[in-house]
């Protein structure tokens, strides 16, 4: 009995994915739990395992090809159990397959060193190694648990990251983007062209926040709090106060979320990832900060799952560490708003008596989808955000 292998749906707004790599070839025997293929979306690369024993009968989609969700990418024969590719049942495919549980690539093996030791590498490192016909067994990884990173492959090769194709004139070079870069470029272009953005900005006085943070961080036994932890917690509270902001536009309909989830932009070796802090609006600051630290560590070590990247109507992009005053961001695919956070500045403002007063201010910009939000709703959200950050003691307790 031949069983269809499908492109999984990893999130409410995912419509297509890239089949990045086949791990088995036609005719290969496959055991339950064995890695079959790797797919990549605009957010994350994910491995798909077999749910049953069988033999790969056919590969119907070539590596690097983009196909819609639910498309048949291959067939498995010799088993009455299906192998699928999504983390939870979906109406479009539930009656056809028994699904497998995708997992993030960097946390799983990509090859073997001898019979006992597995080689763990990032997707970019594997692509670079394939491009140069380099055996990853010859590379010493510098990442956690010996994980091989792109810089390790570069060091072994002793040459730049990718041998680029020279352009026709001058010193310009031409290089093919990775599947992740291409997908992200396409999706962000679609968002910018297809989503009517509007922007609202304000300045927030954060002297009280900075003083509270210094007091809390004076406890050497407690985990360190950053300004971004306060922003994430405040965004969650403001989202809970204004549930109309907690919606997205999905296939011509408004989709409202029950929990006040907040995404956070994290720069990693393989690009920008946007994991989600669950129900940030109800939780105390220390719990939000703990989740944020965990997500950053797992994002940078390549251990995020597809579920970590799914959901949330709003994201926070903090560029304050780069001495940037205003950050005007493009809304992430599948969301309806993003909050750009700038650096803290010291400046004098007139007080109630007109005398100069030293203030610590931080500029924020809300980019919002006008199909979902009105200007009044956006202003109300920013007003709540500002109030929480200017009176930060309220963030310390759970709701």
360 touches 210 (CB < 8 A): yes
Active-site hit among 132, 242, 322, 370: 370
Name the residue among 226, 285, 284, 233 with its Cα closest to residue 261.
233
Distance CA 56, CA 77 (A): 6
Instruction: Report the first-to-last Cα separation within the chain, whole angstroms.
Output: 53
Task: State phi, psi for 18 to the nearest 5 degrees.
Answer: -100, 130
Token output for 316:
């926070």
Nearest to 312 by CA among 253, 248, 229: 248
Active site residue 242: no
Query: Among positive and negative, which fits the CA dihedral 85, 89, 94, 100?
Result: positive
Question: Two tokens at 217?
Answer: 């961080």
Catalytic residue IDs = 370
């Amino acid at each position: 009995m031949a069983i269809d292998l499908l492109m999984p749906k990893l999130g409410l707004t995912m419509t297509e994915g890239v089949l990045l790599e086949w791990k088995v070839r036609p005719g290969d025997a496959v055991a339950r739990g064995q890695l079959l293929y790797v797919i990549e979306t605009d957010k994350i690369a994910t491995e798909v395992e077999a749910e049953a024993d069988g033999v790969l009968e056919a590969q119907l989609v070539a590596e690097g090809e983009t196909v819609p969700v639910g498309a048949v990418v291959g067939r498995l024969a010799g088993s009455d159990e299906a192998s699928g590719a999504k983390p939870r049942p979906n109406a479009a495919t539930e009656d056809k397959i028994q699904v497998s549980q995708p997992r993030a690539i960097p946390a799983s093996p990509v090859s073997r060193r001898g019979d006992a030791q597995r080689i763990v590498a990032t997707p970019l490192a594997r692509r670079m190694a394939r491009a140069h016909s380099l055996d990853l067994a010859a590379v010493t990884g510098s990442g956690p648990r010996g994980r091989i990173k792109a810089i390790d492959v570069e060091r072994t090769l002793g040459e730049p990251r990718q041998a680029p194709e020279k352009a026709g004139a001058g010193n310009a070079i031409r290089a093919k983007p990775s599947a992740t870069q291409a997908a992200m470029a396409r999706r962000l272009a679609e968002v910018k062209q297809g989503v009517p953005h509007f922007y609202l900005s304000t300045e927030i006085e954060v002297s009280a926040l900075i003083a509270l943070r210094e007091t809390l961080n004076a406890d050497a036994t407690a985990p360190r709090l950053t300004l971004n932890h306060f922003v994430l917690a405040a965004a969650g509270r403001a989202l809970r106060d204004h549930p109309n902001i907690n919606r997205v536009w999905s296939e011509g309909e408004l989709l409202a979320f029950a929990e006040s989830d907040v995404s956070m932009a994290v720069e990693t070796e393989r690009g920008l990832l946007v994991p989600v802090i669950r129900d940030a609006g109800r939780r105390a600051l220390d719990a939000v900060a703990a989740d944020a630290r965990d997500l950053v560590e797992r994002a940078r070590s390549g251990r995020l799952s597809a579920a970590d990247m799914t959901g949330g109507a709003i994201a926070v992009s903090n560029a304050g560490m780069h001495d940037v005053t205003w950050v005007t961001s493009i809304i992430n695919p599948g969301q309806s708003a993003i909050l750009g956070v700038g650096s803290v500045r010291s400046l004098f403002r007139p007080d109630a008596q007109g005398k100069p007063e030293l203030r610590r201010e931080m500029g924020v910009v809300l980019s919002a989808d006008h199909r979902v939000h009105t200007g009044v709703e956006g202003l109300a959200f920013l007003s709540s955000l500002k109030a929480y950050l200017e009176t930060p003691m309220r963030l310390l307790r759970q709701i």
